[in-house]
Amino acid sequence: MASLLKASSNVFLSEKLPFLSRSKTREGVVPKKVTFRSAPVTLSLSTSTGTVEHDPISNSPDIAIPIMVNGCAGKMGKSVIQAADSAGLHVVPVSFDAEKNSGQTVELCGKKILVHGPSDRERILASVFQEYPNLIVVDYTVPAAVNDNAELYGKVGVPFVMGTTGGDRDQLYKTVEESKVYAVISPQMGKQVVAFLAAMEIMAEQFPGAFSGYSLQVMESHQAGKLDTSGTAKAIISCFQKLGVSFDMDQIQMIRDPKQQVEMVGVPEEHLSGHAFHLYHLTSPDQTVSFEFQHNVCGRSIYAEGTVDAVLFLAKKVKLKADKRIYNMIDVLREGNMR
């Protein structure tokens, strides 16, 4: 920890990061591009994702687990299908999505997947589960569908991986607990980002109040189609709050405008449709010390690969009839390499 956290004093004495000014609106326009200069403290995770590659051993028939990817018409759903196919999993030719996508056929990795709308979902899912008794459902739909979908999975009794953010999370966990279905629930499926979050949680637990009096500014930039505030940002802010920082979630600066993302945040244009850039900036009360944490992700394969690991992990727990039913990505990390 000490090697990562080195403070420099008398830096940013009166300077404020312009794009994080609290006088701005949550999606305020900033006139000039932010340059990520050398900061007093920087913990940076930056990954640009391309072709998904897996260990050839993953193609063994022993792990040909059937998965149903709901939201397969979306970009994240398609990325999961590609990662799952590469890992040797069996993608069933059925998916649930919004009514507007009902009746569509998604063709990917040599498969034709029929998309069904909200109507008659219980009968269809029960039929698929009967045909594939080892089925794991993967959910990458929309925040508004999270709770209804979880109730459906619980009612049918099918294990699921919930990668969709948003919804009523307390109700989500209550639904799973009452149904006693197996599930991995995580607002962040990228294992490396989860490891960073776990480190933050350890720091918050062991050093409560260490940053008392410090001010916090948070920026998160995602593709325009992401409607809700980043769950990862909320989780990390929660850690800072335990460390003594006063911050309200509505102070998060959400960047969804492509022009701002390129000019202000520095997102490569080719990744405007799929990225996650986060910046957390802490300043001491007298503004002589500042800390900065940053993690940038381009593309979606980091999440898709993490999702596949979550599927393999959950299938193992179901097979072992584990007592614990609800898991997160930290549990998946602790299990070690799943492939």
Residue type, 3: S
Q: Report how far residue 61's alpha carbon sits from residue 288's, in angstroms, rounded to the nearest whole number.
A: 59
Annotation marks residue 234 as catalytic: no
What are 275's two structure tokens? 């990225």
**Which residue matches tokens 């405008």?**
257
- The answer to whether 95 touches 77, Cβ cutoff 8 Å, is yes
Separation of alpha carbons 19 and 29, rounded Å:
8
Helices (H), the chain: 75-86, 121-131, 146-156, 169-179, 191-206, 231-242, 258-260, 301-320, 329-335
DSSP-assigned states of every residue in 134-192: T-EEEE-S-GGGHHHHHHHHHHHT--EEE----S-HHHHHHHHHHHT--EEE-S---HH
C-alpha to C-alpha distance for 299 and 153, rounded to whole angstroms: 29
Tell me how far apart the terminal alpha carbons of the chain are, to the nearest angstrom. Answer: 29
Beta partners for residue 48, in sequence order? 298
At 222, give phi and psi (nearest 5°).
-135, 165
Q: What whole-number distance in Å separates Cα of residue 165 and Cα of residue 144?
A: 9
Q: Give CA–CA dist 279/265, Å, rounded.
A: 10
C-alpha to C-alpha distances, 73 to 95, 97, 195, 306, 307, nearest whole angstrom: 9, 8, 29, 19, 17
Name the active-site residue from 78, 116, 191, 226: 226
Other Cβ atoms within 10 Å of 107 Cβ, number: 9
- Catalytic: 54? no
- The angle, 0 to 180 degrees and rounded to 10, between the axes of the packed helices 301-320 and 75-86 is 60
Q: Which position among 116, 191, 222, 295 bears the catalytic label? A: 222
Q: Which residues are annotated as catalytic? A: 222, 226
